[in-house]
Amino acid sequence: MTIKASVAGNLGGDATLRHLQDGTPILDFSIGAKGDKNRETGESTTQWVRCSMWGKRGESLAQYFTKGRYVVAFGSLTQQSFTSKEGQARTSLELKIDDVSMGPSPAPREEGQQQAAPQQRQAPPQQGFTPAQRQAPPQQGYQQQAAPQGQQRRANF
């Protein structure tokens, strides 16, 4: 059984790109999602989700996945079992990414914090419709009816 999930939050650090022996690229990163606020203290907790993106898409997005960037990731949850340094058996959940959306770059760090050297970066290729396509007239066979007052309009296909 496959469990599909989505996670929205900020990257906890720069993503790490690695390659398997056969050359398959894997992009690893963690997303911090704010949890519910504690009623007593008013503080919210951060839930961390480990993520991996396999293939060329992960390889091409690696340079854009920097600490603090807001992302929304969709994928399949997998359970990993491991032994901790203390010798205890543990499990963790990992999201194997099928699709991801990025938000704006993180804000510049405040004075006194170490800042990485500026790098020339190009925006990733945009997918979807161009503004001209969004404004295109309806195609043949598509008619929009005027809605009676107080109701939504409906499209007939």
pLDDT of 27 over the 90 cut:
yes
Residue 33: what pLDDT?
86
Using pLDDT thresholds of 50, 70 and 90, give the confidence band for residue 51: very high
Task: Report the mean per-residue pLDDT for the chain.
Answer: 76
113 compared with 39, residue with greater pLDDT = 39
Nearest CA among 69, 30, 79, 68 for reference residue 50: 30
The whole-number average pLDDT for the span 15-36 is 91
Q: What separation in angstroms does the CA of 53 have from each of 61, 106, 134? A: 10, 21, 30
User: pLDDT tens-digit profile of 61-112?
Assistant: 999 999 999 999 999 988 888 888 899 998 887 899 999 998 877 666 565 5
Residue 156: what pLDDT?
47
pLDDT of 26 over the 90 cut:
yes
Residue 134 is given by DSSP the state: H
Q: Set out the domains of the chain in order of their start, with CATH numbers.
A: 1-106 (2.40.50.140)
72 compared with 44, residue with greater pLDDT = 72
Residue 10: what pLDDT?
92
pLDDT of 151 over the 60 cut:
no
Nearest CA among 102, 95, 97, 36 for reference residue 65: 102
Residue-by-residue DSSP string for 19-47: E-TT--EEEEEEEEEEEEEPTTT-PEEEE
53 compared with 39, residue with greater pLDDT = 53
Contact predicate 32/12, CB 8 Å? yes
Residue 111: what pLDDT?
56
